[in-house]
Structure 1
Amino acid sequence: MTLLGAVFLPQLPPERLRAVAQAADRAGLDELWLWEDCFRESGIASAAAALAWTDRLRVAVGLLPVPLRNVALTAMEIATLERMFPGRVAMGVGHGVQDWMAQVGERVESPVTLLREHVTVLRSLLRGEEVTFAGRYVQLDGVRLDWPPLDPPALAVGASGPRSLRLSGEVADATILTGGTSPDAVRAARVLIDEGRIAGGRTEPHRVTVFVLAATGPGAAERLAASHRDWGHDLTQEVGVAGDAAVVAAAVRRWADAGATAVVLQPTADDPDPEDFVRFVAREVRPLVP
């Protein structure tokens, strides 16, 4: 089955999250995704609040920029959420937008090296292991979580370039592909991810999540086109969808057929009703997606 989610955009003020999360929970949405974009909402604080406000909703953060975070702190936060809300937490990490990292003095010479070190150590900590590690960027001396997750959650890596896609296949449990990724680009990404999985000797299933811009209701096509321009998407490819539930569901199936395990619909920043958007995804699109 293709998982279907929706994004709570960080362009919305944090006080809007409660109503959107509760609407998603009541509507039966598979997953609500949050972004830790600089310099908007914190991913961990937002996830904790959304989980506490809801009963069954799975809450995902895609993604935490690793240059901003000590790996031990990241592990503590993920473990705490997973123990308090077992099975309802999904987490992704990435090397961050380099211009943003430079703004806060955390840009590194080799973002992919940092990401490899961070993910390798983070997965070990979440398994409850004691970790001593002396890397280029990550250093730990005999660190073990007192309260590791009882069932460590899958850890995703946000990736776009060939090196990071191969790295994700090698060291992570899942991959997150950004908005603007066409079905053809998903197919190409899966090839690189699988190369990494072979290199890392990974044989377990590897989830691939893709964000897809979507708009529905009055002015949907115009809002979608404006969002594509704002994001600078390549419009020679299929990178979004506007229309009713049948049109959106057909598009979701195209991304799923290309190899996406989960399709997360991303509303436009000017969507007139974020609560209604998550209800639309859960109640109208979900029944049309196998």
Structure 2
Amino acid sequence: MTVLGAIALPQLPPDRLRAVVQAADESGLEELWLWEDCFLTSGVATMAAALAWSDRLKVGVGLLPVPLRNVAIAAMEFATLHRLFPGRAHIGVGHGVQDWMGQVGARVSSPMTLLREHVTALRQLLAGERVTVDGRYVHLDGVALDWPPTAAAPVLVGASGPKTLRLAGEIGDGVIISAGNTPDDVRAARAVIGDVPLVVYLHTATGPGAAERMERERVNWGYPTIVDRAVTGDADEVAEQVGRWAGAGADTVVLQPAPDDPDPEGFVRFAATVAAIRRGTPATAR
């Protein structure tokens, strides 16, 4: 059965995150996902807080841009999260938005090479290995974590184009693709990445003004049409539509609200209701 989650966008002020986490927790939502977009909120800080505010909620963060982090620091951060909250942290990395990486002086000439080197070393460190590597961008000399995770610590990799998808399927423990991908796009991605877990974000709107919010998203993201790129409607309608992305190969579908959604707490409750409908155990929608 496809897992269904929801995103708390970083456009939400950080001081409002706790209420969203509590709403997700109380509603029975299985997974809450966070982003680290420049220059909004830290993915690691918000993930740690969200995990601490719940005893059961699984929290994902995707994506953390690898150019912003030395791989040893990333491994220390991720290992700490996995040991503090075993089995509840889903961590995704990617090469970042190149314009943003340029703004902070972290843009590299070969993002693909950096991503390969970083993820390879990161997975080795999280597996408890002592790592020595002298790559184009990643350099480690006998580095090992004193407190590696005590269980498997998967690293998901974000991807878009065919080359990055192929690399992500090769080096990652799973792949994340952004909202705006149609069911046919998901099928194509699945064909490229193989059998690794696939997380798909999905533009979603419900309630009054849903269609208008999706039209603004279409303009914001530059889509020629919003058809097959988003879902709108009540919980039953969205649950039915989500099945198209699940049937195309998504192992996890994460409902992504518009940044101007008027009720972030209500949105995660709505996502929990959609998930319950798909499981055959309806709950109360917002």
Question: Which bin holds the TM-score, normalised by the shorter protein?
Answer: over 0.9
Q: Contact 2:62–2:158 (CA<8 Å) still a contact in 1?
A: yes
SS at match of 1:146: coil
Residues 205-251 of structure 1: per-residue CA shift (max 9 Å, x gap): 51100110100011111111111211212416510011001111111
Task: Kindly indicate whether residue 258 of structure 2 is the aligned counterpart of residue 268 of structure 1.
Answer: yes
Q: Contact 1:6–1:281 (CA<8 Å) still a contact in 2?
A: yes
| Gap runs ≥5 in structure 2 | 280-286
Task: Kindly indicate whether residue 272 of structure 2 is the aligned counterpart of residue 288 of structure 1.
Answer: no
Task: Kindly indicate whether residue 124 of structure 2 is the aligned counterpart of residue 124 of structure 1.
Answer: yes
TM-score normalized by the length of structure 1: 0.94
**Equivalent residues in 2 for 1:120-269, closer than 5 Å:** 120-194=120-194, 205-235=195-225, 237-269=227-259
Task: Give 1:288 shift.
Answer: 2.2
Q: Contact 2:8–2:20 (CA<8 Å) still a contact in 1?
A: yes
Number of corresponding residues: 279
Task: Give 1:152 shift.
Answer: 2.5
Mapped partners of 1:234, 1:256: distance in 2: 23
TM-score normalized by the length of structure 2: 0.96
- Aligned residue type for 2:40: R
Tell me the residue number matched to 2:115. Answer: 115
Percent identical: 63
SS at match of 1:212: strand
Mapped partners of 2:82, 2:226: distance in 1: 41
Q: Contact 2:201–2:253 (CA<8 Å) still a contact in 1?
A: yes
Mapped partners of 2:9, 2:91: distance in 1: 16
SS at match of 1:289: helix
Mapped partners of 2:258, 2:55: distance in 1: 27
Mapped partners of 1:154, 1:228: distance in 2: 33
Mapped partners of 2:29, 2:217: distance in 1: 24
Tell me the residue number matched to 1:79. Answer: 79
Q: Contact 1:180–1:234 (CA<8 Å) still a contact in 2?
A: no
Runs of 4 or more, structure 1, over 6 Å off, are: none
Task: Kindly indicate whether residue 106 of structure 2 is the aligned counterpart of residue 106 of structure 1.
Answer: yes
Tell me the residue number matched to 1:199. Answer: none
| Gap runs ≥5 in structure 1 | 195-204
- Aligned residue type for 1:163: K
SS at match of 2:105: coil
CA RMSD of aligned residues (A): 1.0
